[in-house]
Amino acid sequence: MVGTIDADKKGIMSATTTTKKKTNSTRTKTTAKKSNGTVSTDRLKSDVLNLAEDSKRYAVQTANSLAETTKDAVNDAKESVVEVANKSQKRALSEYDRCVDGIKKNPVAAVGIAAVVGLALGIFFLGRRS
């Protein structure tokens, strides 16, 4: 395979590729030619440097975009976690207040329930020791 780069009258290069076979091997050769047929290595070097700079700019832009997207996703997740934590805290405080009100309204029942639960736990743990 032989590749050539040809320049038109405006100095813009274009690539063409041809294939040549030579006993089980393929050779690739790329040259930059001006319209008069001479090789322009300076122009080729300049094009390669421009391509490298463009690639670098693209990589930086892509990395910045990815960083911004990640930052937004983390902020959204943080907001969701804070929202759920606040709802859970409000619910826990509401249930605590409800329990305290129930104990104040029926203190005898609350003491009886506490005694039964304490007795059950005591029997359970004493039974495990043996």
Task: Tell me the three-class secondary structure of 105-119, residue by residue.
Answer: HCHHHHHHHHHHHHH
- Give the CA distances from residue 52 to residues 6, 8, 78, 121, in Å, rounded to whole numbers and listed in that order: 21, 23, 39, 74
Encoding tokens for residue 130?
Answer: 């043996």
More confident call, 21 vs 83: 83
| pLDDT reading at 10 higher than 60 | no
pLDDT digits (tens, 9 = 90+) for 24-78: 444 444 555 555 655 588 888 888 999 999 999 999 999 999 999 999 999 999 9
Task: Please report the pLDDT score of residue 33 as a whole number.
Answer: 53
Cβ(1)–Cβ(20) under 8 Å? yes
pLDDT tens profile 100-121:
999 999 999 999 999 999 999 9
Q: Is 24 left (phi over 0), alpha (psi -120 to 50) or beta?
A: left
**DSSP states of 90-103:** HHHHHHHHHHHHHH
* Amino acid 38: pLDDT: 59
Q: Which residues pair with 31 in a beta bridge?
A: 4
Q: For position 25, what pLDDT does the model report? A: 45
Strand partners, 30: 3
What does each C-alpha distance from 41 to 21, 48, 52, 81 come to in angstroms? 27, 10, 16, 59
